[in-house]
């Protein structure tokens, strides 16, 4: 019997969607409403999940927010068990997604370079 190779991707998306609803409702963290879940990856055996997030306030509070999300990972995993129909919910691990800020920084550099080019012409 061939395993479904899309399953980890589908499970990751399901977990990301559910966590996006759970985190602001269930966590008593002051930054919970500033969190945007940008992605999720689930291992092939569905035992662990990497959840990526960004913050409206930027990278300043990223380390503290990641720490508090990882402390609440067991609670969130348990809450997910009640919401999704999976045999077992993967262990959750949260990581700050730097790509959003990196993209914004690159955009500002491009805009500045274009403005400088216009000034020199």
Residue 4 pLDDT: 56
**Confidence at residue 62, expressed as pLDDT on a 0 to 100 scale:** 86
Distance CA 40, CA 18 (A): 11
CA distances (Å), origin 104, targets 45, 62, 81, 110, 116:
35, 16, 36, 10, 18
Q: Which of 102, 118, 115, 88 lies closest to 58 in space, CA to CA?
A: 102
pLDDT less than 50: residues of the chain: 1
Q: Which pLDDT score is estimated for 1?
A: 44
Contact 32, 71 (CB under 8 A): no
Residue 35 C-beta-side C-alpha neighbours within 13 Å = 31
Rounded to two decimals, what is the model's pTM? 0.79
Helix (H, G, I), strand (E, B) or coil at 8: helix
Q: How far is CA 120 from CA 84, 94, 107, 113, 114, in A?
A: 58, 46, 20, 11, 10
pLDDT at 2: 53
CATH of region 7-120, choose from 3.30.300.20, 3.40.50.150, 3.40.630.30, 3.40.710.10: 3.30.300.20
């Amino acid at each position: 019997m061939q395993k479904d190779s899309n399953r980890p991707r589908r499970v990751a998306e399901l977990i990301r969607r559910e966590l996006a609803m759970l985190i602001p409702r269930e966590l008593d963290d002051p930054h919970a409403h500033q969190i945007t879940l940008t992605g999720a990856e689930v291992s092939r055996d569905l035992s662990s999940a990497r959840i990526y997030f960004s913050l409206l306030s930027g990278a300043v509070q990223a380390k503290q927010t990641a720490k508090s999300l990882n402390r609440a990972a067991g609670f969130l995993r348990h809450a997910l068990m009640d919401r999704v129909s999976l045999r077992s919910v993967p262990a959750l691990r949260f990581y700050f997604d730097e790509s959003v800020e990196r993209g914004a920084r690159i955009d500002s550099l491009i805009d500045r370079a274009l403005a400088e080019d216009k000034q020199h012409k």
